[in-house]
Chains A and B, each alone.
Chain A
Amino acid sequence: DQQVKQNSPSLSVQEGRISILNCDYTNSMFDYFLWYKKYPAEGPTFLISISSIKDKNEDGRFTVFLNKSAKHLSLHIVPSQPGDSAVYFCAASADSGGSNYKLTFGKGTLLTVNP
């Protein structure tokens, strides 16, 4: 069973508008959440993360929101740029002795930003 779910396989937005990517999780032991971006023929690259003690983390154009009661997080990209077109993976980990080595990934959402 999928412990991290990204229910939208794809999303298409216009350049300059907001992109919102959603992620749901089922494991209440998860306490750290990350977003990775992946271009074709490359490995995933870290984008932004959030600890379960926070409900928002912002880094430039990227903001991640966490709703623990709903077991839901979202990634907002504003304004969206064509270079943001990629597959976005939501990932989660449960603190295992203070390490985040064992990430559980969702299936990914393909974001396409149209010029």
Chain B
Amino acid sequence: DTGVSQDPRHKITKRGQNVTFRCDPISEHNRLYWYRQTLGQGPEFLTYFQNEAQLEKSRLLSDRFSAERPKGSFSTLEIQRTEQGDSAMYLCASSLGFGQNEKLFFGSGTQLSVL
């Protein structure tokens, strides 16, 4: 399978705990994105990497959130001191291309439930 891989698929945690998600993009893709989808809503942009550089972060990404892509390959998204409002599907996507030929390929997501 050469698609975008996300781990874990599901995560249940208690309020106040820290969680970390991993995303492995399609191997030749240099861009990696994190989106969040809550129930009944469309995905919302969180942050974006080109190679290892984090180029933009949404205002949705509070100080409790941090994302890394240390070697320009896989990425991690960490949420510290989780809150119930963090419960959502966290989607990773990757792309290769520029301009209007750029197409995002999404993973299956990590479903986070904060109790």
B106 and A43 within 8 A (CB): yes
B4 and A43 within 8 A (CB): yes
Chain B residues within 8 Å of A49, by CB: 100, 103
B45 CB-CB contact with A under 8 Å: yes
Contacts A32-B100, A101-B31; A44 near B43 (Cβ below 8 A): yes
A4 and B99 within 8 A (CB): no
Chain B residues within 8 Å of A46, by CB: 103-105
Identify the A interface with B (CB < 8 A).
4, 32, 36, 41-46, 49, 51, 89, 91, 95, 98-108
The contact of A45 among B43, B100, B106, by CB within 8 Å, is: B106
- Which single residue of chain B is at the shortest CB-CB distance from A32? B100
Q: Can you list, as one digit per residue, whether each of B93-105 has a CB less than 8 Å from chain A (1) or not (0)?
A: 1010011101111
Q: Would you list 11 pairs from A and B whose C-beta atoms are within 8 A, ordered by A residue?
A: A32-B100, A42-B108, A43-B4, A43-B108, A45-B106, A46-B104, A89-B42, A98-B99, A99-B99, A101-B102, A102-B48
A99 and B108 within 8 A (CB): no
Chain B residues within 8 Å of A107, by CB: 40-42
Chain B residues within 8 Å of A4, by CB: 42
Q: For the complex, give the distance between the alpha carbons of A51 and B48 in Å.
A: 22
Q: For the complex, give the distance between the alpha carbons of A98 and B102 in Å.
A: 9
Chain A residues within 8 Å of B109, by CB: 43
Chain A residues within 8 Å of B41, by CB: 107
Closest beta carbon of chain A to B31's beta carbon, Å: 7
Q: For the complex, give the distance between the alpha carbons of A104 and B37 in Å.
A: 12
- Which single residue of chain A is at the shortest CB-CB distance from B40? A107
B42 and A105 within 8 A (CB): yes
Given contacts A44-B91, A45-B105, A107-B42, 13 further A-B contacts (CB under 8 A): A32-B100, A36-B106, A43-B93, A43-B106, A43-B109, A49-B100, A89-B42, A100-B100, A101-B95, A101-B104, A102-B56, A104-B45, A106-B42
